[in-house]
Amino acid sequence: MKKVLLLVLGGWLLSTAYNAAQAQSADNRLRATYTPEAPRIDGQLDEAAWLQAPRVTNFTQRELTLGAPVSERTEVAVLYDDQKLYVAVWCYDREPDKLIARELRRDFDYELDDNFMLILDTYNDQRNGFMFVTNPVGARADLQVFNNGGSTNAFWNGVWDVRTTVTEEGWFAEFEIPFYTLKYRVGLEEQVWGINFERNIRRKREQARWQGWSRDNRFQQVNLAGKLVGLNQLTQKQFVEIKPYGIGGGEITPQNTRPTGNLGGDVNYLLSPTYRLNLTFNTDFAQVEADQQQVNITRFPLFFPELREFFLEGDDFFNFGFGGNRIIPFYTRRIGLDENRETVPILAGARLLGKEDNRTLGLMTLQTAATATQASTNYTTASWRQDVGTQSVIGAMTTNAITADRWHSTTGINGRFSTSRFLGNKNLDLGGAILQTYNTDDGYDPRATAFRFFVSYPNDKLQLFASAQRGDDAFEPEVGLMLRRSFREQFADISFKPRPKKRLTWIRQYEFKPVQITNTQYDDNGQIQSFNYNFQYLGFDTKSGESFTINHALVAEGLRAPFTIARDVTLPAGTYWWRQSNARLRTFKGRKLSVDSRISWGEFYDGRGLQTQTELLWRSSRYLNLGLRYERNDVQLSAGSFQTDLVGARLAYAINPNLFGSLLSQWNSAQNEFNLNFRLQFIPKIGTDFFLIVNQVYDTQTGALDPKRGTVLGKLIWRFVV
C-alpha cells in the first residue's frame, strides 16, 4: 500500500511540473482576435480579418506515424465579437478528389469521414468541455465532455453553425459559435480557455492534433489542450429561450383511427453564464427514434439506452459515478415510461444545471400524471460535485420518487482520482461509489447498500482494469435498473497492444488479452452466479482499417431455479460449465461498403449453441446510407432446441445538413413483430426543428403482416429568444 501511495504521489508531482512547463510554452497558445464586424459564414475565408488573424500550424501525427508533422498542411485561426466565437480552418489537401465525406445529417458518424474537430474548455478547469465536429460537406456533430474525457454526452445539441467549401487546394471550414451556447466565468479582464484541434484524413488513416498527440491520450482529455487567449472582457446577457411545440396526427389500430394532438414546450433561462434553468411543460418525446430491438437468451433484463433529448442533455450531472452495467442507480427511462415501455405523461418539470468556481450543481424535478399502471409521481434528483486537485473529483447525489403515500430514495457518494502524468506521462484512474436505498414502507435498512471500486490504467500499449462491486439483497433502486441482484463481483482485464516495427508492418496494432475474468457470486452464500474467463490469443487492426479478434472462453452460470430460456425450453436448476469460442471481423467503415461480423460457437449450458451477427453498411453517397443487420441464435439443449432471428435495416438519407431522416425496419422472431419507424427532420433555422414521424407495428404470427397499431405525427418546435 505504501508503494502504491508513493507512486500516486510521484505521478501527481510529475503532473504538476508538466502542466507548469506547458503553460510557459509559446507553442500551445493561440490568440483570438477581436473583430468589430462579424465575418460571413460561408467557408470562403477571404475576409481581411481572417487573413490577418494569428494562425496555428504545428499539427503532429498521432496515427499512423507518431510524432511526424501532418502530411497535409493544416491551419486554424480564431476571431470573436461581442456575441460569438468564430473559428476558421484551412485543411489543405493535394488530392481533394480523394476526400471521404459521405455524411450530411446532424450528429453524423464523424469517425467514418475526413473531419475536423475542436474542443473548448471554457472554464479552463481541465475537466469539462464542448466539442464541435464537421466534415468537408458541412455536416455537424457536437457533444459535451466531462471528467476529462471519462464520459461524454453525444446527444447534446448546441446552437451553432458551420459552413465548408472544397476547392482544388483542399477543404475549408468556418465555425460560428454563439457565446450563449457555452458556459464560462465572467468578470475576468481576459479569459483563458482550453482549446485543441484534431484533423482526420481517412484515406490515409492519418490523425493529427495540435496538442496532446501522444497515443496514450484521448482528444477529450482537455487537461492536455492548448490555451486560447485574448478573449477580453467577455460578458453574457441574461436571456430567455422559449421553445414551444405543437404536435398533431393520428393513432391507427385495426378497430379505429383516433386523432391526436398536443401543445407544450420548454423555457430555458440563463440565470448567469454558469447557471441555466430549464422548465418543461407537457413534455413530449414523439420525435425519438424507436429502440433497436434485442433478443434475450439470458436470465437478466435487457438494457435500452436513453434516447430522449431532455434527459440526455443533463446526463452527466445526474450520474452516480457507479460505472459498469450491473447496477444503474438512476435510469431515466423509469420516468415517463412504464414497465411495458408505454408512455406516462410528464406534466411539468424543472432543471437547474451549472458550475461555479470548482463546484458543479444539478437539480431536476418532474411530475408525471397518474395512469392505469402507476400513481402520479414526483421524481426529484440533486447532485453536487467538487473538483479536487488537477483532474480529480468527489461528489454526492440523491434520487427520489414521491407519491401521495410513499417516498423512495437512492443516495450515494462517489470519488475519482485521475492523472495523465502517472509515472511520467501515463493515465491512471482510481475511483468508486457507495449507495444506499430507502423507502417509507420498510424504513431504514442498513443492508440496503451497494458499492463499486475500480482502478484503471488506460494507455496505448498496456491497458489494465480491475473492479469490485456488491449489491445487497435489500438494495433496490426503484428509479434505477438492476441487471444483477444480490451479488458480489470481481472483474479484471489486461490488454497488451504492441505495434510491429520490422515485420508485418501492414498491421497497425496487435491486441492480446491474457486475462479477462468476471467472477460473480450470490451475495448470501458465495456460490457461483456467473463466471467468465476470456482469453484473446489474437487480435489486430491493420493500417488499412480492418480488424480481427479471436478468443476462447470458459463460462459458468449458476441457476437457483429453473430457467425458461425459450418457449417450451426450460433448464433445470444447477451449475452449468461450458467452453465457447468467439471471432469478429470488421472492415474499414470509411469505405462505401463495410462489414462487421461476429460468431460464437461451442458448448452452451448442457448442449451446444451457435450465435452469429452480421452488419453491412453501404454508404452510397453523402445523401444515402443503408445499414443491414442480421442476428441468429441456433441452440440445442437437453430440454429442447430453438432458433431466433432478428433482422433490421436502417436507411439514412440527407438532402442537406438541415434536412435529413431515416427509415428503420426490424423483425424479431422471438416477439413475432415487424416494426417500421420513419423520421424526417427539417431545421429551418438553427435551434428550430420540424419532425414527421410514422410508426407501424405488424403481427407476424400467422406468417403475414397483420397491422397491430400505428401512428402518424407531425411536430414543430420553434425557438424564440427574449
- Average pLDDT rounded to a whole number, residues 496-522: 93
DSSP assigned state of 587: -
Burial 186-211 (b: 16+ CB within 10 A, else e): eeeeebbbbbbbbbbbbebbbbbbbb
Is a pLDDT exceeding 70 seen at residue 6?
no
Choice between 705 and 635, residue whose per-residue pLDDT is larger = 635
Question: How many other C-beta atoms lie within 10 A of the C-beta of residue 340?
Answer: 6
CB-count exposure of residue 25 (10 Å: 0-12, 13-18, 19+)? exposed
C-alpha–C-alpha distance, residues 320 and 255, integer Å: 46
Question: How many other C-beta atoms lie within 10 A of the C-beta of residue 363?
Answer: 18
Contact (Cβ atoms closer than 8 angstroms) between residue 35 and residue 155: no
Is a pLDDT exceeding 70 seen at residue 709?
yes
C-alpha–C-alpha distance, residues 305 and 607, integer Å: 32
- Report the pLDDT value the prediction gives residue 214, as an integer from 0 to 100: 92
Contact (Cβ atoms closer than 8 angstroms) between residue 715 and residue 691: yes
pLDDT tens track for 564-592:
999 899 999 999 999 999 999 999 988 99
C-alpha–C-alpha distance, residues 619 and 625, integer Å: 4
Contact (Cβ atoms closer than 8 angstroms) between residue 57 and residue 73: yes
Binning pLDDT at 50, 70 and 90, where does residue 649 land? very high
Contact (Cβ atoms closer than 8 angstroms) between residue 653 and residue 623: yes
Burial 400-419 (b: 16+ CB within 10 A, else e): bbbeeeeebbbbbbbbbbbb
Nearest in space to 352 (alpha carbons), one of 331, 366, 335: 366
Contact (Cβ atoms closer than 8 angstroms) between residue 238 and residue 231: no
pLDDT tens track for 149-160:
878 888 788 889
C-alpha–C-alpha distance, residues 720 and 347, integer Å: 22
Q: Compute φ and ψ for 12, nearest 5 degrees.
A: -65, -40
Residues 6+ apart with CB under 8 A from 145: 119, 128, 129, 130, 131, 152, 220, 222
Binning pLDDT at 50, 70 and 90, where does residue 2 land? very low
pLDDT tens track for 105-150:
888 999 999 999 999 999 898 888 999 999 999 999 999 998 888 7
- Report the pLDDT value the prediction gives residue 25, as an integer from 0 to 100: 36
- Report the pLDDT value the prediction gives residue 491, as an integer from 0 to 100: 97
Domain parsing of the chain, residue ranges: 31-225
Contact (Cβ atoms closer than 8 angstroms) between residue 541 and residue 565: no
Give the rounded distance of the alpha carbon of 573 from its chain centre. Answer: 38
C-alpha–C-alpha distance, residues 9 and 660, integer Å: 52
Is a pLDDT exceeding 90 seen at residue 186?
no
- Report the pLDDT value the prediction gives residue 469, as an integer from 0 to 100: 95
Residues 6+ apart with CB under 8 A from 7: 422, 423
Average pLDDT score, the chain: 89
Nearest in space to 108 (alpha carbons), one of 722, 657, 488: 657
Q: Which three cell numbers stand for residue 40?
A: 460571413
Choice between 237 and 152, residue whose per-residue pLDDT is larger = 152
Is a pLDDT exceeding 90 seen at residue 460?
yes
pLDDT tens track for 350-389:
999 888 878 889 999 999 999 888 889 999 999 999 989 8
Kind and range of the H or E run holding 20:
helix 2-23
- Report the pLDDT value the prediction gives residue 391, as an integer from 0 to 100: 84
CB-count exposure of residue 630 (10 Å: 0-12, 13-18, 19+)? middle
Is a pLDDT exceeding 50 seen at residue 651?
yes
Nearest in space to 399 (alpha carbons), one of 444, 309, 334, 492: 334
- Report the pLDDT value the prediction gives residue 18, as an integer from 0 to 100: 37
Percent of the chain with pLDDT over 70: 96
Contact (Cβ atoms closer than 8 angstroms) between residue 366 and residue 360: no
Q: Which three cell numbers stand for residue 557?
A: 452460470
C-alpha–C-alpha distance, residues 50 and 52, integer Å: 5
Contact (Cβ atoms closer than 8 angstroms) between residue 510 and residue 537: no
- Report the pLDDT value the prediction gives residue 146, as an integer from 0 to 100: 85
| 608 to 47, 600, 603, 638: CA distances (angstroms) | 68, 11, 4, 10
- Report the pLDDT value the prediction gives residue 153, as an integer from 0 to 100: 82
Is a pLDDT exceeding 60 seen at residue 8?
no
Contact (Cβ atoms closer than 8 angstroms) between residue 600 and residue 614: no
Q: Which three cell numbers stand for residue 393?
A: 473529483
CATH, domain range 31-225: 2.60.40.1190
Nearest in space to 131 (alpha carbons), one of 151, 101, 114, 104: 151
Matching residue, cell 468537408: 136
| 33 to 81, 98, 179: CA distances (angstroms) | 9, 34, 15
C-alpha–C-alpha distance, residues 626 and 663, integer Å: 10
Choice between 269 and 451, residue whose per-residue pLDDT is larger = 451
What secondary structure does DSSP assign to 510-558, as a single string? E-EEEEEEEEEEETTT--EEEEEEEEEEEEEEETTS-EEEEEEEEEEEE
β-strands 226-232, 29-31 pairing: parallel
- Report the pLDDT value the prediction gives residue 686, as an integer from 0 to 100: 84
Torsion of the alpha carbons at 6, 12, 16 and 19, rounded to the nearest 10: 140
For residue 307, is the peptide bond before it cis, meaning its omega torsion is within 30 degrees of 0? no
Q: How many Å from the N-terminal Cα to the C-terminal Cα in the chain? A: 58
C-alpha–C-alpha distance, residues 432 and 312, integer Å: 23
Question: How many other C-beta atoms lie within 10 A of the C-beta of residue 648?
Answer: 18
Is a pLDDT exceeding 90 seen at residue 599?
yes
- Report the pLDDT value the prediction gives residue 240, as an integer from 0 to 100: 87
- Report the pLDDT value the prediction gives residue 583, as an integer from 0 to 100: 98
Contact (Cβ atoms closer than 8 angstroms) between residue 154 and residue 132: no
Reduced to 3 states (helix: H, G, I; strand: E, B; else coil), residue 203 is helix
Contact (Cβ atoms closer than 8 angstroms) between residue 200 and residue 63: no
Residues 6+ apart with CB under 8 A from 685: 719
Contact (Cβ atoms closer than 8 angstroms) between residue 631 and residue 669: no
Binning pLDDT at 50, 70 and 90, where does residue 92 land? very high
pLDDT tens track for 243-290:
999 999 998 888 888 998 889 999 988 887 678 898 999 888 777 777
Is a pLDDT exceeding 80 seen at residue 405?
yes
Percent of the chain with pLDDT over 90: 66
pLDDT tens track for 60-69:
999 999 999 9
What's the residue count for the chain? 722
- Report the pLDDT value the prediction gives residue 340, as an integer from 0 to 100: 72
Q: Which three cell numbers stand for residue 569?
A: 425450453
Choice between 694 and 153, residue whose per-residue pLDDT is larger = 694
| Global pTM value | 0.83
- Report the pLDDT value the prediction gives residue 308, as an integer from 0 to 100: 76
Is a pLDDT exceeding 60 seen at residue 16?
no
Residues 6+ apart with CB under 8 A from 241: 267, 268, 269, 270, 687, 719, 720, 721, 722
Residue at 196: amino acid letter: N
- Report the pLDDT value the prediction gives residue 665, as an integer from 0 to 100: 95
Give the rounded distance of the alpha carbon of 220 from its chain centre. Answer: 12
- Report the pLDDT value the prediction gives residue 9, as an integer from 0 to 100: 40
- Report the pLDDT value the prediction gives residue 301, as an integer from 0 to 100: 83
- Report the pLDDT value the prediction gives residue 347, as an integer from 0 to 100: 92
C-alpha–C-alpha distance, residues 644 and 655, integer Å: 37
Nearest in space to 66 (alpha carbons), one of 218, 220, 215: 215
Half-sphere exposure of 195 (CA within 13 A, CB side): 21
Residue at 437: amino acid letter: T
Contact (Cβ atoms closer than 8 angstroms) between residue 74 and residue 59: yes
